[in-house]
């Protein structure tokens, strides 16, 4: 979504509302973006200081790190930036402070591009279907029950060091 903020720059309006579909460029490996990402908010010009305040929601799919089930969630984050529409801040400073500034080209603001970088960093390092997901049985590979047990009856392998110890004390 590209927004024309020229009316704001010319003083024809003091505020532009945003409620639009956004298309983030990419998700990290292991994640897939689902359709329906949106950005909602507004851009306000208060005496030449232009501020974007918005919230972004991005549906995605990933896999539980423990049981490997598909998990669908939505990233929700605030996306607030100072919009620089003139030469008051150098490109270098804008790039170094992309958490604070947004650049416009001829009064056009590319929100997809702006949001993409932030979206990428919002994904969780580890995705779980639930905080107490017990994971998979390490004997048969099936999903464990909520109590962490599996009906396959798989038993933990004995540590060979215990076998050596048992050999020393055959009666026990
Ligand atoms: Zn899980
Ligand atoms: Zn099992």
The domain spans of the chain are: 2-122, 134-172
Q: Is the pLDDT of residue 157 over 60?
A: no
Question: Nearest ligand to the C-alpha of residue 138?
Answer: 2
The pLDDT of residue 163 is 65
Tell me the CA–centroid distance for residue 161 and ligand 2, in Å: 24
Instruction: Starting from the CA of residue 154, give the closest ligand.
Output: 2
Rounded to the nearest angstrom, the distance between the alpha carbon of 172 and the centre of ligand 2 is 29
For residue 161, is pLDDT > 70? no
Structure tokens at 107: 């009064």
User: Once rounded to an integer, what is the mean pLDDT over residues 119-128?
Assistant: 92
- Residues 50 and 109: their CA atoms lie apart, in Å, by 12
170 pLDDT exceeds 60? yes
Determine the distance separating the centroid of ligand 2 and the alpha carbon of 29, expressed in angstroms: 29
Ligand with minimal distance to 150 CA? 2
In this prediction, residue 90 carries a pLDDT of: 86
pLDDT, mean of residues 37-42:
97
Average pLDDT over residues 133-145: 92
How far apart CA 100 and CA 108 sit, in angstroms, is 18
Q: How far is the CA of 113 from the centre of ligand 2 (A)?
A: 46
Cα dihedral: 1, 35, 73, 127 (round 10): -90
pLDDT score recorded for residue 48: 87
pLDDT at 1: 85
Is 90 exceeded by the pLDDT of residue 137?
A: yes
- Alpha-carbon distance of 106 to 127, in angstroms, equals 40
Query: Residue 59 pLDDT > 90, yes or no?
Result: yes
**CA–CA separation, 58 vs 12, rounded Å?**
32
| Ligand in closest contact with the CA of 69 | 1
Which ligand number lies closest to the CA of residue 148?
A: 2
């Amino acid at each position: 979504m590209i927004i024309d903020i020229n009316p704001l720059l010319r003083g024809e309006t003091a505020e532009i509302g945003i409620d639009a579909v956004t298309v983030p460029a990419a998700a990290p490996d292991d994640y897939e973006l689902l359709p329906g990402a949106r950005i909602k908010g507004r851009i306000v010009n208060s005496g030449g200081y232009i501020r974007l305040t918005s919230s972004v929601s991005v549906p995605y799919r990933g896999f539980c790190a423990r049981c490997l089930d598909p998990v669908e969630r939505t990233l929700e984050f605030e996306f607030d930036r100072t919009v620089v529409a003139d030469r008051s801040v150098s490109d270098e400073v804008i790039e170094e402070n992309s958490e604070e500034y947004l650049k416009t080209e001829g009064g056009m603001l590319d929100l997809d591009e702006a949001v993409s970088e932030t979206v990428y960093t919002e994904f969780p390092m580890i995705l779980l279907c639930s905080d107490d997901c017990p994971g998979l049985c390490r004997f048969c590979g099936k999903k464990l029950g909520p109590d962490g047990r599996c009906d396959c009856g798989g038993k933990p392998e004995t540590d060979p060091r215990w076998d050596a110890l048992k050999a020393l004390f055959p009666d026990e």
